[in-house]
Structure 1
Amino acid sequence: MNFFSSTFKLGILGGGQLGKMLLYDTRKFDIYTSVLDASIDAPCKVACNEFHLGDLMDYDAVYNFGKHVDVLTFEIENVNTDALEALEKEGVKVYPSSKTLRVIQNKAKQKLFYRDHDIPTADFSRFAYSSEILDAIHNGGLEFPFVWKSAQFGYDGTGVKIIRTEADLEGLPNVECIAEDMIPFKNELAVIVARNNQGEVSTYPVVEMEFHPEANQVEYVICPARIDEKVAKKAIDVALKVSKAFNHVGLLAVEMFQTKEDNILVNEVAPRPHNSGHHTIESSYTSQFEQHLRAILNLPLGKTDSKVGGIMVNLVGAEGYTGNVIYQNIEDIMKMPGVTPHIYGKKQTRPFRKMGHVTIVNEDLNEARKIAEEVKNTIKVISQ
């Protein structure tokens, strides 16, 4: 099939920043795109060929949208998988598949998948409702501390809470969830794996992630991770094992813990371009977004090596500000060497909302980290 400057149509479910960055590369290749999103102000709207309004969890909206595209992909997991399955049966190529997505959408199913496929992960207990946790504690089946995670619809730090006492259970939504052992780890790592329909596989270098202590969001992504080569190889091997188990097509971002004993435990995965790969736009031979396109269109995968050390800084809404966004001091960070800001196109800011990111590239990773800190302390995402 001819994808370039042709009648081929790529459908994208979700119109957020990941889709917008994916569109950088569809426009580069002149691939015709159609996007479905529930917001009239979705960032993708400015860059796609067609934009359609619709709820991604609504069967009819997803099914009717998907009938008119040749290949369907997504930039967010919260989509109607029944509609995806129906489209697959009618011949629409959906990547990653509805089968893969069904497992990943639910953290409890995801954890059971790891257990069934002998993939190392933290021990956990599964609950139909959060209200059952207290009984498990009183009966000796669960001990403090642990990490509570909602089985579905968690993102960017929501749906996750560290539970140290019974008081921490107050106010939790009474939903299906897991209670996961707290892991004393050295580092949080991630590996992005790309796989096309022919089974060709490639991995990006291991990255290290530094998190905001309150928002539970990534503040910095550092590539390459500052870890021993043996640990990096172990992380890549685990990521490849996860990828093989899912047999996905497209990207799979595998987030992991490096324990104090240098073991690797899988935390969770995302079957799409991911925050941990944003640096690849500037620092890699092939960006994660181009690689996702290559994979889902069954094209040869691109070179994943880094051209230079890269660090990504998330730009999130400052606490105490809600309303029309202002990027304060953005001109100052643009004076710094190797700094490239990416603004996602969201007109309204609120505390901790992802509004953009900044990439810092430098041949000296330590120098890049210093500049990243300066960037973080200089630019402020506030409101009018």
Structure 2
Amino acid sequence: MTNYFSSDFKLGILGGGQLGKMLLYNTRKFDIYTCVLEASNDAPSKIACDEFHLGNLMDYDAVYNFGKQVNVLTIEIENVNVDALEALEKEDVNVYPASKTLRTIQNKAKQKLFYVDNNLPTAPFTRFAYLSEIEDAINNGGLNLPFVWKAAQFGYDGNGVKVVRKLEDLDGLPSGECIAEQLIPFKNELAVIVARNPNGAVKTFPVVEMEFHPEANQVEYVICPARIDENVAKKATEVALKVSEAFNHVGLLAVEMFQTEDDQILINEVAPRPHNSGHQTIEASYTSQFEQHLRAILNLPLGRTDSKVGGVMVNLVGAEGYTGNVIYENIENIMTMDGVTPHIYGKKQTRPFRKMGHVTIVNEDLNEARKVAEAVKKSIKVISE
């Protein structure tokens, strides 16, 4: 077995954002040597890695040359050059998740077709090469309003997704490849994070419930465990495990799902990395999602995934109307509340709806934690000078 700890083993991470930074809390805990590739010198991860490399994650040479210097390569963002990863795999660099998995997940149309091909439940959809084809499909009756438009590539944090209720809603959307997905009425948005190591050991974290911001289409609260019937939780976990098995990924796979009005589970989308729906695990679980990702990609025994205590996570995003040097207003006030831990990502510049941090609230009583979360949300403001 490889000696990862206090050794000359090198772990490479593509992406230097907040997910990378939180992954690095754990590499430091284990004294694992880390190299990060990121295009911005102001990246949150810069302060926490052993080697910081500047480079564009979509650039073949940048990714390939970086990957040649490490033993295991992982990601904290999907938008990376997959051809470079494939070349590295052929040269015996361990890449997790594999290029094949990433190629499918990077493109939402391919991802949806993968669910259909593997008999996995997902909302009905139509794939379009160009936005202009959607209008034709509506006019000739091949597509009914309302539906959810999704850009096939490069969507993130609510960008690249829009509910289309009338033709005019298509105005201003990117013109390229996209999907139109049936708008499914649902009770809850749920997520399950599955961890899998190269030996095939698999563990799931408890089902979480996600409450979304209506305008920004971003998660506002993550509630763990989800306040749902035991049978629904069991069904959601089973679906997540089936998705994980179909991808046969290594590392973490966050599976976002809808619980329909009649308690069916439909897959929305997946992320093959640590995910916003698992941040509460840092304080609330025996093993955080970030430690588990490391255990999985290094083929170490997977950690215990149940919660020690109920947890609610609140995203801290830039307030509307503020752009510039960030100020966290009333952060001292929220720190007087029991069970509250802020995480500040280290982005110096704020802009509307930019993810700037999160706050975890833990409490034996989940309803109490949810109330405190609301108070946190009302109190703290991410503004600029």
**TM-score, normalized by length of structure 1?**
1.00
Q: Quote the residue 1:315 is aligned against.
A: 316
Deviations 1:246-272 (A, max 9, x none): 000000000000000000000000000
**AA matched with 2:160:** G
Distance 1:272 1:108 in 2: 19
Distance 1:141 1:229 in 2: 39
SS of corresponding position for 2:97: coil
C-alpha displacement at 1:226, in angstroms?
Answer: 0.2
1:229 and 2:222 matched: no
Q: Quote the residue 2:140 is aligned against.
A: 139
SS of corresponding position for 2:294: helix
C-alpha displacement at 1:172, in angstroms?
Answer: 1.2
Distance 2:174 2:274 in 1: 29
Q: Quote the residue 2:100 is aligned against.
A: 99
Q: Quote the residue 2:246 is aligned against.
A: 245
**AA matched with 1:382:** I
**TM-score, normalized by length of structure 2?**
1.00
**1:144-159 correspondence runs (5 A):** 144-159=145-160
**AA matched with 1:129:** Y
Q: Quote the residue 1:11 is aligned against.
A: 12
C-alpha displacement at 1:50, in angstroms?
Answer: 0.1
C-alpha displacement at 1:229, in angstroms?
Answer: 0.1
Distance 1:274 1:146 in 2: 26
Q: Quote the residue 1:207 is aligned against.
A: 208
**AA matched with 1:132:** E
**Which stretches of structure 1, 4 residues or more, deviate above 4 A after TM superposition?**
none
**AA matched with 2:377:** K
**AA matched with 1:333:** I
C-alpha displacement at 1:169, in angstroms?
Answer: 1.1
Distance 1:218 1:241 in 2: 24
Deviations 1:148-168 (A, max 9, x none): 000000000000111001111
Deviations 1:299-358 (A, max 9, x none): 000000000000000000000000000000000000000000000000000000000000
Q: Quote the residue 2:189 is aligned against.
A: 188
**1:212-291 correspondence runs (5 A):** 212-291=213-292
Q: Quote the residue 2:54 is aligned against.
A: 53
Q: Quote the residue 2:364 is aligned against.
A: 363
C-alpha displacement at 1:27, in angstroms?
Answer: 0.1
Distance 2:135 2:231 in 1: 41
What is the number of equivalent residue pairs in this alignment? Answer: 384
Deviations 1:54-100 (A, max 9, x none): 00000000000000000000000000000000000001000000000
Distance 1:210 1:236 in 2: 19
SS of corresponding position for 2:342: strand
Structure 1 alignment gaps of length 5 or more: none
Distance 1:177 1:303 in 2: 39
Q: Quote the residue 1:342 is aligned against.
A: 343
Q: Quote the residue 1:27 is aligned against.
A: 28
Distance 1:171 1:370 in 2: 38
Distance 2:348 2:37 in 1: 19
Distance 1:373 1:160 in 2: 26
**AA matched with 1:199:** G
**1:26-175 correspondence runs (5 A):** 26-175=27-176
Distance 1:313 1:126 in 2: 34
Distance 2:117 2:268 in 1: 15
SS of corresponding position for 2:150: strand
Deviations 1:212-254 (A, max 9, x none): 0000000000000000000000000000000000000000000
C-alpha displacement at 1:171, in angstroms?
Answer: 1.0
SS of corresponding position for 1:193: strand
Q: Quote the residue 1:328 is aligned against.
A: 329
SS of corresponding position for 1:73: strand
SS of corresponding position for 1:213: coil
SS of corresponding position for 2:34: strand
SS of corresponding position for 2:222: strand
**AA matched with 2:172:** G
Structure 2 alignment gaps of length 5 or more: none
SS of corresponding position for 1:238: helix
